[in-house]
């Protein structure tokens, strides 16, 4: 039974995007394999986050459950509004009959052929289409400064790669590929089951040859016939300036190698930006709280203010009020893959001293007498 993505992340079904992101970051940190976590649990968490963090996928998941992913992979659901999750083929056809007001009898042959026609030629189990390698998801934590300038990261990933001995064929060098005796070269086998008045014929990938239709006369001694071996691979990735927290970078073909020379999956690097002690990021803008003294607020001043890139001179106007926002154009974050920067917004906070010396109090009293 498919697990509930909301349950995996430990959140409610009406959780906000921020709640989803916080739950994911906490669990990903806890279960990351590099930190001794459970790799299977980590992949489960990433899978749930990839769906629930995408508004469109989340809406489909809320409507159809995990079946929406299977339908998308096979080309289905695109033309069926309100299509529901049927527990069996018979339920599905019963639904279509009732929708047309029919009470006729149906004879079921190979339902795979029927559903292939309904869903627009979806790839059937057992076809000789090569199985693409799995995707890999990793996390990278960077500082706000690194996000502003761009940075390069290096990952040492343990993954499936093409066997160097057989080149991915699964055959011992010099050994031939022969027709699979189980499927007779078709790459698929059929199983027929009977239930009440119906006969169900199901096409499945041949378990002997994994859908190739051929088997090596002698399997490769290095990979055991799979065409892949597990090795550590060092992968460098450039994180572009302006990237936001939670965004993912994809590297095509850097995931797990496919079986028997099939294309490799992709590598996805999810970026997490550490909180900054001085700046709060909102989109491409940076917000900074600036504390000034009472006299600076009354008389005005010029202050040397550090940004992420340089130190600038900020003019404080005389008579400024607490809470005033001063905008410094183009001093914020770079716009991702675009020209220019966001702005830096400085929020003025006037500090009122809690303790005064005798002399300071006397001066304040004089100002008070002057009506200030």
pLDDT (tens digit per residue) in 201-214: 778 888 878 788 88
Compute the mean pLDDT over every residue in the chain, rounded to the nearest whole number: 80
Closest-CA residue to 296 (of 275, 269, 314): 314
Q: What is the CATH number of the domain that holds 39?
A: 1.10.287.110
Please check whether residue 74 lies inside any domain of the structure: yes
Last-in-domain residue among 56, 85, 114 = 85
Residue 204 belongs to a domain: no
Q: Could you tell me if residue 93 is inside a domain?
A: no
* Averaged pLDDT, 122-140: 69
Q: Decide if pLDDT at 141 tops 50.
A: yes
DSSP codes, 347-372: EEEEEPPS---HHHHHHHHHHHHTT-
CB of 235 closer than 8 Å to CB of 155: yes
Structure tokens at 197: 């008045």
Q: End of a domain among 60, 85, 110?
A: 85
Query: What is the mean predicted confidence (pLDDT) over 143-157?
Result: 94
> Is residue 144 in a domain?
no
359 within a domain of the structure (yes/no): yes
pLDDT the model gives residue 311 = 94
Is residue 24 within 8 Å of residue 53, measured between CB atoms? yes
User: Is residue 316 in some structural domain?
Assistant: yes
More confident residue, 98 or 186: 186
pLDDT band, very low/low/confident/very high, at 109 (cuts 50, 70, 90): very low
Residue 30 domain boundaries: 1-85
Smallest Cα–Cα separation from 349: which of 312, 302, 316, 307? 316
The domain boundary, picked from 37, 66, 85, lies at 85
> Is it the case that residue 31 has pLDDT exceeding 50?
yes
Name the DSSP letter for residue 219.
B
CA angle 85, 86, 91 (to 5 degrees): 155
- Interval 295-306: pLDDT, tens: 899 899 999 999
- The reply to whether 137 falls in a domain is no
Mean pLDDT of the region 306-314: 93
Residue 149 above 50 pLDDT? yes
**How many independent structural domains does the chain possess?**
2
pLDDT at 102 over 50: no
Please check whether residue 313 lies inside any domain of the structure: yes
CATH of the domain at 353: 2.60.260.20
3-state secondary structure string, 282-337?
A: ECCEEEEEEEEEHHHHHHCEEEEEECCCCEEEEEECCCCCCCCEEEECCCCCECCC
Report which of residues 222 and 76 the model is more confident about: 222
């Amino acid at each position: 039974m498919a697990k509930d993505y909301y349950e995996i992340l430990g959140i409610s079904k009406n959780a906000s995007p921020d709640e989803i992101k916080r739950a994911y970051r906490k669990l990903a940190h806890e279960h990351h394999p590099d930190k001794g976590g459970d790799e299977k649990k980590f992949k489960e968490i990433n899978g749930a986050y990839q769906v629930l963090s995408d508004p469109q996928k989340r809406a489909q998941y809320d409507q159809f459950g995990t079946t929406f992913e299977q339908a998308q992979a096979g080309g289905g659901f695109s033309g069926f509004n309100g299509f529901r999750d049927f527990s069996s083929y018979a339920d599905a056809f019963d639904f279509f009959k009732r929708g047309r007001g029919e009470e006729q009898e149906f004879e079921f042959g190979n339902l795979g052929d029927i559903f292939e026609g309904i869903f627009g030629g979806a790839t059937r189990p057992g076809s000789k289409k090569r199985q693409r390698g799995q995707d890999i998801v990793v996390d990278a934590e960077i500082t706000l400064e690194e996000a502003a300038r761009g940075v390069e990261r290096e990952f040492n990933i343990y993954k499936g790669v093409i066997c160097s001995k057989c080149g991915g064929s699964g055959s011992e060098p010099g050994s031939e590929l022969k027709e699979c005796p189980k499927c007779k070269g078709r790459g698929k086998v059929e199983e027929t089951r009977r239930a009440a008045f119906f006969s169900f014929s199901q096409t499945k990938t041949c378990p002997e040859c994994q859908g190739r239709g051929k088997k090596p006369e002698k399997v490769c001694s290095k990979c055991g016939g799979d065409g892949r071996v597990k090795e550590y691979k060092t992968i460098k990735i450039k994180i572009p300036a302006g990237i936001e927290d939670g965004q993912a970078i994809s590297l095509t073909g850097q995931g797990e190698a496919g079986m028997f020379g099939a294309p490799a999956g992709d590598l996805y690097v999810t970026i997490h930006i550490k909180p900054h002690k001085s700046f709060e990021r909102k989109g491409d803008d940076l917000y900074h709280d600036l504390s000034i003294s009472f006299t600076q607020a009354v008389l005005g001043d010029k202050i040397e203010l550090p940004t992420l890139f340089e130190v600038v001179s900020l003019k404080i106007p005389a008579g400024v009020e607490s809470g005033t926002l001063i905008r410094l154009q183009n001093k914020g974050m770079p716009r991702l893959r675009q020209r220019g920067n966001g702005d830096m917004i400085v929020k003025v906070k006037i500090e009122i001293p809690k303790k005064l010396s005798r002399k300071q109090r006397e001066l304040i009293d004089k100002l008070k007498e002057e009506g200030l």
